[in-house]
Amino acid sequence: MKESINKIIKYLDDQEETREELLDISHRAIRKASSAMAALHREDDEKFSEIIENIEGDIEKLNTILEKEPQFSDHGSLIAAHREFSEALLTNALMEGDELPDPDEIKVHYKGYAQALAETTGELRRHLLDLLRKDDLEQAQKIHERMEKVFDHLERFDYPDSILSGMRHRRDVARKNLEKTRGDITRALREKKLEKALKDAERSLED
C-alpha cells in the first residue's frame, strides 16, 4: 500500500509543479500582451512586433507543456494567455485591414482564439474613437464595417459555458460595442454634413 500511495503522491507533486510552471508562463504572456496592445494603440509598430515575438516564445513553452500534459489543455490561465495573445494579433490585423491570422498558424487554442475575436470589438471601438477625434471619418467607417463583420462571425458561436466559457457574455458586450459605435458614426456623419452645409452657406453669402 505504501508503494502505491508514494506513486500517487509523486504523480500529484509533478502535476502541481507543472501547474505552477503553466501559471507563471501564462501570467507573463498576459502581461506582455497588454503591453503589446498599448503599443498598438500608440502606433508603435516596432515595439508591438518586438513584444509579440517575445510572447511567441511563451506560447511555444505552454504548448510544449501541453504535449506532455494534455489534461491542462482547458486550464483557465492557459486559455487566457492564448486569448490575450490572439487578441493582440487579431486587433492589429483588423486595424490594418489584413487577413486574420489562422489559429493553427499562431499555434493557439481554438477556445482562446474565439474568445479573443469577441474581445477585439472593444479595442476596435477604442481605435475608432481615436480616429474620430482626429477627424478621420473615412477610416473610422472602415473600422466600423470590420466590427460588423466580426460580429456576424460571433453569431455562430452559440455554445454553453461548459463548451466555450463566457462566450455568450462576450458576444453581448460585442453587440453593445457595435451599437454604441454605430451611434458614434451616425453623429459624426451628421456633424460633417452640418459643417459642410454651413461652409456652403458662408460661401454663398460671400458671393
pLDDT tens digits along 20-66? 999 999 999 999 999 999 999 999 999 999 999 999 999 999 999 99
pLDDT tens digits along 60-111? 999 999 999 999 999 999 999 999 999 999 999 999 999 999 999 999 999 9
Q: How confident is the model at residue 197 (pLDDT cuts 50, 70, 90)?
A: low
Report, as an integer, the average pLDDT of 182-201: 78
Q: Mark residue 107 as left, alpha or beta (left: phi above 0; alpha: psi -120 to 50; beta: remaining).
A: left
Report, as an integer, the average pLDDT of 112-120: 98
Q: Which domains are delineated in the chain?
A: 1-108 (1.20.58.2140), 110-207 (1.20.58.2140)
Cell of 154: 460571433
Annotated binding site for Mg(2+): 87, 123
Annotated binding site: 87, 123
Q: Is the pLDDT of residue 199 over 80?
A: no
